[in-house]
Structure 1
Amino acid sequence: MKLSMLLPADFDKQKWTLSRQIGIKHVITKASPELTGLEAPYDFNTLKIIKERLEEAGFNLYGLEGDQFDMSSIKLGLADRDAWIEKYCLMLDNMGKLGISLLCFNWMAEIGWYRTSSHIVERGGALSSGFDYECIKDKLVKEDRRISEELIWDNLYYFLDAVLPVAESNGIKMALHPDDPPISPFMGIGRILASANNFKKILKDFNSPSMGVTFCVATFSLMDENIYQLAADWLEEKKIFFIHIRNLKGN
């Protein structure tokens, strides 16, 4: 197991220095242009520059996390999705050339991870984000914005059929993150990664050395799962590629 930190790909003296001080050697980052100031993340030179930036600071770029570019066409199955999938495959090829071996991805359409607050005061004045179901329950079902779970399933399988062979040929582990929060529908949008059973189905249907799980402890806990047994089962199957360690409540 490698202890890593999600760090910005652009120079951040405070975060980079603190990470070195606590012993972080391996870094996960997001390569989207709005965060890096560089060209598209599927461009070889963009990934090379990011990797070199981090190496010069004493880090190893181990993986990427999140949507590296707008994935709406792919997740919603729009007319131009094949062109975007081609760019995704190019990104995987370039990651392979540079030795970037992990990609944490999600399948939340239109709305990513969601919080009702980003300024909850915790220990010592530290700020935390939070999600309160009662604050948003009336907004969770919006009839004017209906995207079915069936559509989301179809588009995920179409995507995996296309990209997994490329990931395999480049030795890249694709770690699928659960929907956060694990609620479906969410504001009228179907979410399919809100249960462990759905993960098990995907892992069975795509029995690939490159297909695995981001084991987000807090999100799987919200599914009312026995996370210890779930972790044991997936570890035995060698399907946990990436772990997010966070709690449901601060202490």
Structure 2
Amino acid sequence: MIKIAEFLPPTQTPLWKLAKQAGIDYAVGGLPFDDPQNAGDAPWDYLPLLRTKQRYESGGFELAVIESRPPLNQAKRGLPGRDEEIATVITLIENMGRLNIPVWCYEWMTDFNWLRTNTSTLSRGGSLVTSFDSSLMAHAPGTELGPISEEELWENLEYFLRKVLPVAEEWNVKLAMHPDDPPLSPIRGVGRIMRSVENFQRLVDLVPSPMNGITLCQGNFALMTD
């Protein structure tokens, strides 16, 4: 069954009203990093997540997906501290299960997330869009942590999934991997692995589980197959 949802920030904005006027009943939400009521709790702890879900429900939305993540760069790079980061993900998944939030959207882009070289490119009808021009990155400096290969990223992803997927199965929370954005590798010396249909097949084969899924981002999958 296809459910139409909109990504909505975890505090009410005018977009919430527009979404309801458009007939949308499901929210893809974020974690409440800026909630002043957290009072020492992390955004992925039970009470902050409960309050976030209640806010969406008060606006008439069912919180169907969390598309936000605890810090994960140590885990992606296989550095000391990765087990502590993985523990925060496990806490998030357990609390999502307790609150019947069924899907967690995550990604495996290390050092930087989605990347654009321009945030005001002129497009159809005079609209402004974001864009990425790989030629402008040809001489960009490397990241502070230095290069990392694609195979290292695969090894670290497998380690992560073997720790996390049993918990996801126990709590019936689906993991949905978002593609690299843009789906190019390397960028600034950093490998990027979620950038092709073949690599997404490798993902689901890496640690087979009904909870090991994908985020079908139409834009990035179109770029992969263009």
* TM, length-normalised to structure 2: 0.91
Counterpart of 2:222?
A: 221
Counterpart of 1:120?
A: 121
Please say if 1:172 is aligned against 2:170.
no
Map 1:122-161 → 2, pairs under 5 A: 122-123=123-124, 125-139=126-140, 145-161=146-162
Contact 1:147-1:188 at 8 Å conserved across structures: yes
Contact 2:27-2:63 at 8 Å conserved across structures: yes
Distance in 1 between residues matched to 2:186 and 2:57, nearest whole Å: 42
Contact 1:140-1:186 at 8 Å conserved across structures: no
Matched-pair identity in %: 38
Cα offset for 1:95? 0.2
Shift of the 4–144 alpha-carbon distance from structure 1 to 2, 3 Å rule, reads closer
SS of residue paired to 1:33: coil
SS of residue paired to 2:139: helix
Shift of the 93–142 alpha-carbon distance from structure 1 to 2, 3 Å rule, reads closer
SS of residue paired to 2:225: coil
Distance in 1 between residues matched to 2:143 and 2:114, nearest whole Å: 18
Structure 2: 5+ residue runs without aligned partners? none
Counterpart of 1:20?
A: 20
Give the CA RMSD over aligned residues. 2.0
Most deviating of 131-140 and 168-177: 131-140
Number of equivalences: 222
SS of residue paired to 2:114: coil
Contact 1:104-1:214 at 8 Å conserved across structures: yes
Counterpart of 2:5?
A: 4
The correspondence for 1:44, drawn from 43, 46, 58, is: 46
* TM, length-normalised to structure 1: 0.82
Amino acid at match of 2:111: E
Cα offset for 1:143? 11
Counterpart of 1:233?
A: none
Structure 1: 5+ residue runs without aligned partners? 226-251
Cα offset for 1:142? 7.4
Amino acid at match of 2:54: E
Contact 1:140-1:185 at 8 Å conserved across structures: no
The structure 1 segments of at least 4 consecutive aligned residues displaced by more than 6 Å after TM superposition are 140-144
Please say if 1:30 is aligned against 2:24.
no
Cα offset for 1:125? 4.6
